[in-house]
Amino acid sequence: MGAGVCFVAFSVIRASFLKYFFLNLYVVLSLFADLLRQSILRFYGVESPQYSYAYYYTDCLLTIALFVAVISLASRVFAELRLAKYVRFVAVLLLLGTAGFSYAVVAQSSERLGTTFAVELSQNLYFVGLVLTYLLWGAVLKLQETRTRLVQMILSLGLYFSAYAGSYALLNLAPKYEVVQYLAPILGCFLPVSWALTIMRHTEDSRLTPARLVAVPR
Amino acid sequence: MMAAFILAFSLLTLLMFFVSYCRSLTASSLHMSISEDVRDVTGIQVRAAGRDYTRVMQILQLCPDRPEDRSGLQIVGAYFSFLNLLDQGFARISPAVRTWAEEERASCAHFAAVALGRRIALNREMLAQQVEL
C-alpha cells in the first residue's frame, strides 16, 4: 500500500500524474480495493460469500484497469505513427471478446455464475494482457523506443502479467500447486514499487540505448 | 493442453521480460563513470568485470543505506545469481553464453559500483554536515 501511495505522490510531484493517468488510476483503485477487502474481511470473515464476491469482483475490476493501463502505454508508443485510435479500437474489441468468451465458458457449466465469471474473466484477461504486452514490447524494439520511463513501465507490466498468467495456468494444470496465493502478495507489491522507482529515478527526458534492451543481442 | 501452452508461453515471456528489465536497470547506469573513490576502494582499473561484483557488494554493505537504491540492487543481485546459474549450466554447451553472461555480470558490477559511488558521496556529505554542527 505504501508503494502505491509513493507512486501516486511522486507522479504528482514530478508532474507526471496526467501523463500516466491510467497507471495512477490502477494504483488508486487497488488501494481502494485493499481497503474494501479489509473492511469486508473484518466484518464478515474470510469464509463468507460477501468476502468472496468482494475479492473476485475487485480483482476483475483491477485486471480491467490494468488492461486499460497497457492500452494507454500502447497508445503512447504508437502515437507518433498516428495509430493510437486503432490501438484503442482493437483493445475494446479484445476486452469485449474476452468477456464474451469467459461468459460462454462459465455459462454452460457453473451454478455460481457470478463469481466464476469474474474469476474466468480475470484469468483470461491476464493472458490477453500478457500477449498484448508482448506485442507492445516487440513494437518498442522495432520502433527503437528510447524513453526510459515508458520502457521500464512496459517491462514491469510484462513481468507482472507473465507471472500471473503462468501461475493461473499451473493452477489449472495441477490444482495442488497453488502458487498464485503465495505469488499474489509479492506481485501486488512489485508493480507499484517498480513504477515508483521508475518515476523517482528517471525524468521524462531520460533515454536508453535500444540495443541494450534486447534480452539476447542479435 | 491449452493450460500447458499458456504455462510454457508465460515462463518464456517471464524470462525474457526479467532479462530485459534487468538490462534496462543496468543500462541506465552505463553512461555514468565509476568515481575515483570507488576505484581506490575496489581496485577496479578501467572497466568493472563480473568478478568485481561480490567485492563491490561487500563494501556497499559497509556504507550507510540509501533506500532509493535498495530495490534496484536487489533486482540486479537476483539477475547476477541468475547469470551465475546460466554460466554454470549452459556455458559448457555454448561458449557464446559464457561470453554474454560475463558481459552482463560486468554490467551488474558497474551498476553496483555506481551505487557505491553515490553512497560514498552521501557518506561524505553526512560527515561534512556533522563537522559543521
Rounded to 5°, angle at Cα A67 from A66 and A69: 60
Instruction: Judge whether A97 lies within some domain.
Output: yes
Q: How many domains does chain B have?
A: 1
pLDDT band of A214, cuts 50, 70, 90? low
Q: Are A138 and A173 in contact (CB under 8 A)?
A: no
Higher pLDDT, A215 or A20: A20
Q: Are B50 and B113 in contact (CB under 8 A)?
A: no
The structure's pTM equals: 0.85
- Residue B48: give the domain boundaries: 2-132
* Amino acid present at A74: A
**Which of A27-31, A90-94, B85-89 has the largest mean confidence?**
A27-31
Instruction: Judge whether A216 lies within some domain.
Output: no
* Amino acid present at A66: L
pLDDT at A210 over 70: no
Instruction: Judge whether A218 lies within some domain.
Output: no
- Residue A111: predicted pLDDT: 60
Number of neighbouring beta carbons within 10 Å of residue A17: 17
How does pLDDT run across B93-123, given as a tens digit for each residue? 778 888 888 899 999 999 999 999 988 888 8
Burial class of residue B118 in the structure, from the number of CB atoms within 10 Å of its CB (0-12 exposed, 13-18 middle, 19+ buried):
middle
Q: How many domains does chain A have?
A: 1
pLDDT at A102 over 90: no
Question: Which member of A159, A197, A208 has the closest CB to residue B17?
Answer: A159
Q: Are A70 and A76 in contact (CB under 8 A)?
A: no
Q: Are A119 and A171 in contact (CB under 8 A)?
A: no
Q: Sort out which chain B residues have CB atoms less than 8 A from A208's CB and list them.
A: 24, 27-28
Q: Which CA distances in Å does B111 have to A79, A140, A215, B116?
A: 32, 24, 18, 9
Which A-chain residues 154-183 have CB contacts (< 8 A) with chain B?
155-156, 158-159, 161-163, 165-166, 168-170, 172-173
- Residue A153: predicted pLDDT: 92
- Residue A112: predicted pLDDT: 59
**ipTM surpassing 0.95, yes or no?**
no
Measure in Å the smallest separation between the Cα of B37 and chain A Cα atoms. Answer: 23
Q: Are B115 and B72 in contact (CB under 8 A)?
A: yes
Comparing CA positions, the residue from A10, A139, A137, A149 lying closest to residue A83 is: A139
Residues in chain A, total? 218
Q: Which of A159-163, A204-208, B78-82 comes out lowest in average pLDDT?
A: A204-208
Instruction: Confirm or reject contact between A217 and chain B (CB < 8 A).
Output: yes
Instruction: Judge whether A206 lies within some domain.
Output: yes
Instruction: Judge whether A217 lies within some domain.
Output: no
Higher pLDDT, A112 or A106: A106
Mean of per-residue pLDDT scores for chain B: 86
The residue behind cell 543496468 is B26
| CA A204 – CA A118 distance, rounded (Å) | 37
- Residue A56: predicted pLDDT: 85
Q: Sort out which chain B residues have CB atoms less than 8 A from A136's CB and list them.
A: none
- Residue B106: predicted pLDDT: 92
* Residue B75 half-sphere exposure toward CB, CA atoms < 13 A: 22
Number of neighbouring beta carbons within 10 Å of residue A104: 10
pLDDT at B41 over 60: yes
- Residue A118: give the domain boundaries: 2-210
